[in-house]
Amino acid sequence: MSDTVRITALTVTFNGMAFVETFFKSLFAVDQRDVVLEVMLIDNGSTDGTVDWVRGNFPQVRVIENDENNYARALNIGIANSTGDYVVITNNDATVHPDWLQGFLTVFKQDEKIGAVQSKIYFADSNKINSVGVQEVEHFYFSDIGFDTEDSVRYSKAREREYVTGGSVMFRRACLEDVGPWDEDFIMFMEDVDYSARCRERGWKLWYSPASVLYHQYHGSTSQALCEYFCTRNRFFFVAKHFPLELAACIPTSHFFKKGELDHLYRSLLHSVQKMCACQDTQTVKEVLRSLRDCLPGVYR
């Protein structure tokens, strides 16, 4: 690693006026020792004046306007236009600690095969953990490690993780180029779980750094209902891409099924089968379709 590194900090907004001033003030106050920092904002069609306000008050921020409200697409636009050796993806309903960037770099120095490093994320104005990584908790449902628990010594050391959250994570440029674009079919939520799986499939390691700290206003920019919908829908997408033979078995454990939201379930399955056909071989597709044929009459009577 050279003495000076170029880092792009990338955030995506949609009607984020309530957060951007505090966020950018904290971002530009970070320790930029031996860092050339580029800051980018990708806006997904805000109607609250976010874009004009940022351009007027933070002219050093590079603003790009997305043509649709798709978070994964915004990430792809930002990464494609970024110049950093490392790219940080971060929420803006948050503030960052002054050591935020240096805390990432310390872990990257350990191994050239580390492709991504996640921050320690606290709930805003709290000592409670929002996330120190991501784990599978039940049949392809995922949760933040440490969620809603008090900080403790068990979160004080850097650790390798299977999955990382996109709320505050730095990627090595070589990893992003090797793994390729984010899957825009996910739109939002679980796109980071999918990308984590793809990174590991390509041999990249994912780590957590306790020295990189971000304070997050949980669901400051999205609702709980939106989160639950997309997490359940995108769970089927994730399985169709990575574990297609489990697709039928995911139906009875789906939150859509358990809540009787069978219209959401039906549409999610249709789109997941399309995803599977694009990602899997013909033999696998036929096997999964046979299993769906056998189970769906019992679901829809």
165-219 tens-digit pLDDT: 999 999 999 999 999 999 999 999 999 999 999 999 999 999 999 999 999 997 6
Mean pLDDT check: name the lowest of 50-54, 125-129, 215-219: 215-219
Contact residues for 115 (Cβ-Cβ < 8 A; gap 6+): 171, 172, 174, 175, 178, 179, 199, 202, 204, 205, 206
Total Cβ atoms within 10 A of residue 135: 13
Q: Which amino acid is residue 34, in one-letter code?
A: D
Reply yes or no on whether the pLDDT at 221 is more than 80. no
- Distances from the Cα of 231 to the Cα of 142, 192, 213, angstroms: 9, 11, 25
Reply yes or no on whether the pLDDT at 2 is more than 60. no
Q: What is the pLDDT of residue 220?
A: 57
Contact 187, 70 (CB under 8 A): yes
Contact 208, 133 (CB under 8 A): yes
Q: Which amino acid is residue 83, in one-letter code?
A: T
- Ranges in the chain annotated CATH 3.90.550.10: 5-216
Task: Quote the CA–CA distance of 11 and 292 in Å, as a whole number.
Answer: 39
**E strand spans, the chain:** 5-13, 35-43, 62-65, 86-90, 94-96, 114-123, 129-131, 134-138, 141-144, 159-161, 168-172, 205-216
Q: What is the pLDDT of residue 138?
A: 87
Contact 62, 38 (CB under 8 A): yes
Q: What is the pLDDT of residue 1?
A: 46
- Distances from the Cα of 96 to the Cα of 52, 90, 137, 160, angstroms: 23, 10, 28, 22
Domain spanning 5-216: which superfamily?
A: Spore Coat Polysaccharide Biosynthesis Protein SpsA; Chain A (3.90.550.10)
Q: Are strands 35-43 and 62-65 parallel, antiparallel or unpaired?
A: parallel
Confidence of residue 222 (pLDDT cuts 50, 70, 90): low
Confidence of residue 287 (pLDDT cuts 50, 70, 90): very high
Q: What is the pLDDT of residue 219?
A: 65
Task: Quote the CA–CA distance of 12 and 61 in Å, as a whole number.
Answer: 12
Task: Quote the CA–CA distance of 234 and 272 in Å, as a whole number.
Answer: 9
Reply yes or no on whether the pLDDT at 3 is more than 90. no
Higher pLDDT, 121 or 3: 121
Q: What is the pLDDT of residue 125?
A: 83
> How confident is the model over 6-15, as pLDDT tens digits?
999 999 999 9
